[in-house]
Structure 1
């Protein structure tokens, strides 16, 4: 897991180089015939990448984006209809490209008229063959059951797709520096969080907007690799019912991605620290955070708000691998899990 997560920067560089023309062509095609709706098809870590896609597409392009419910096809065999005059875009995200329920759902959407774009690491998989526009992740073999570089490359693929479609200048300008920034982020020292979570049993993972996806991913990785129950929340949503259980000593890990979303995460983390929680906050703006006895700051690189989530999760992956080992687990072979989950 450590070695593969460390390869994320190189994997993203390969993805960008391999798909440069396909992305440019896809962006032009989507501008010429914009879909009225985007549907994402994914499970597990890939579905967390789909959360990122939802925020990116809705924010920068204004196109409603929703996650497909696979069971409507695989269990209930429900018909799916698309607007023939303005068919949806279906974005399928998968490391393996083999899950039967994903394939059945993508096939059903394609048959209804949707254009299928696949972000898939296995470019010989059934999903890659099914796609109208396959975008190989080029992450290389991923042996550890816990996906790392393929998840980061999926986020990078979404960012590159949205940049090509929207022609957003800030996002487009941020992409070339991403591989180096990922390498730098992976090298950051989050040992304070590792030590603080050594004996934990539960915690909250907090971010907002573009960053919600990595809070979800971090919660999953803690369960998979470290036997630690993490629950992901938006810094807005956590202010409702969940906030009631955050009391003295309760662990919280916050991901500040900058902008308004990051400011809200900083405020929630400060509030939790004031009530005695054990809060770890990854932030590139330490001077914007008021000191509190229960608040520990983790180093993070400054970046465009849309790119920052990729850098934060790279730092987290290094930390959680070390945490898994220190808690007596094997992060590469979580119990009861396999690399390819063939759900139906």
Structure 2
């Protein structure tokens, strides 16, 4: 059983993870302001010369952001989007066919050798490269046809938070500029203020369930699957808690067999049809006696523990929910006797080959 120290608000508020995650709204505002003209130009180019496919290049939290981008681009622009297997370039040096494709590279540091090798290979094969990167002086920035600096500011905690939030917003902004969707564009304008409100939401009702937990499932679907992936990673990274992310559709296969009385479930439900699937699974698991923690803008559901969530444009609701989750993860890490800013065996910049 993990130690469960009594937390003071001062202890919770003084971690780097807390202070950096709290800056998510300000970071998104900086990104949107700084990149407004570049986004308009990129949107015009993509409308005039639609790529036949989109390839994302990323690892870790950035790759989870890419999952979000996949759902956005395929639903709003209808263009097939997939993730690059970086070892194809960095280890096997295999030739690529990438003419008339859009390559979106996402990174906080922009310095991992395998990411750079993959982006360079796609660029040489004819891809148009867009870089979402926090370090504007990085090698990745120099490779890009279009550089969209994340403008998240210094991020010193090992756990990426505001850079992830800004990456999600950046992908939504690219999609809005490309598709011309008015609701998505207007939703982005309101996003910084909503992020501040989302971070202030109280998810402490999850602490009694998770403080002594050893395993759990994290569930999302559609746009929300990306934040389920990210939450599972952060629970492993900052809380030493084994968590696996599943789509609410995929979990109905083999994983469902191990959900029984008391098994923890963290579920992210949006207000759209994809969220309906999450809510249905949450009810089913609650009926089995599972300890279901449900983030749901539609309110509480009997048998589950309600985690408050804001309503917005449904495609943007997962960004708000991950902001609320980061505050919970910070508190949970401390409750489990850990330091969320410095997880064991991890470095801020991971340079894989």
Do both proteins adopt the same fold according to a TM-score greater than 0.5, normalized to the shorter chain? Answer: yes
In the TM superposition, residue 196 of structure 1 has moved relative to its aligned partner by 1.3
* Cα-to-partner distance string for 1:272-315 (whole Å, 9 max, x where unaligned): 0000100000111126x3x12xx111111111111001000000
3-state SS, counterpart of residue 35 of structure 2: helix
In the TM superposition, residue 82 of structure 1 has moved relative to its aligned partner by 2.2
Question: 1:148 matched to which residue of 2?
Answer: 161
Q: 1:70 aligned to 59, 74, 86, which one? A: 86
3-state SS, counterpart of residue 247 of structure 1: coil
2:176 & 2:207 partners in 1: Cα distance? Answer: 35
Question: 1:221 matched to which residue of 2?
Answer: 234
Question: 1:187 matched to which residue of 2?
Answer: 200
1:331 & 1:193 partners in 2: Cα distance? Answer: 17
What is the alpha-carbon root mean square deviation over aligned residues? 0.7
3-state SS, counterpart of residue 35 of structure 1: coil
Question: 1:139 matched to which residue of 2?
Answer: 152
3-state SS, counterpart of residue 252 of structure 1: strand
Q: Decide whether the 8 Å contact of 1:194 with 1:320 is kept in 2.
A: no
1:252 corresponds to 2:252: no
Gaps of 5+ in 2: 1-16
1:315 corresponds to 2:324: yes
Report matched runs for 1:1-344 at 5 Å: 1-83=17-99, 87-286=100-299, 289=301, 291-292=302-303, 295-344=304-353
1:109 & 1:333 partners in 2: Cα distance? Answer: 34
1:302 & 1:30 partners in 2: Cα distance? Answer: 30
* Cα-to-partner distance string for 1:96-135 (whole Å, 9 max, x where unaligned): 0000000000000000110000000001100011100000
1:223 & 1:337 partners in 2: Cα distance? Answer: 12
1:141 & 1:27 partners in 2: Cα distance? Answer: 28
* Cα-to-partner distance string for 1:174-213 (whole Å, 9 max, x where unaligned): 0111001000000000001122100000000001000000
TM-score, normalised via structure 2 length: 0.95
TM-score, normalised via structure 1 length: 0.97
In the TM superposition, residue 222 of structure 1 has moved relative to its aligned partner by 0.3
1:53 & 1:298 partners in 2: Cα distance? Answer: 25
* Cα-to-partner distance string for 1:59-100 (whole Å, 9 max, x where unaligned): 1111000000001111111111223xxx10000000000000
2:20 & 2:179 partners in 1: Cα distance? Answer: 31
1:303 & 1:177 partners in 2: Cα distance? Answer: 9
2:258 & 2:152 partners in 1: Cα distance? Answer: 39
Q: Which ranges of 4 or more aligned residues in structure 1 deviate by more than 3 Å?
A: none
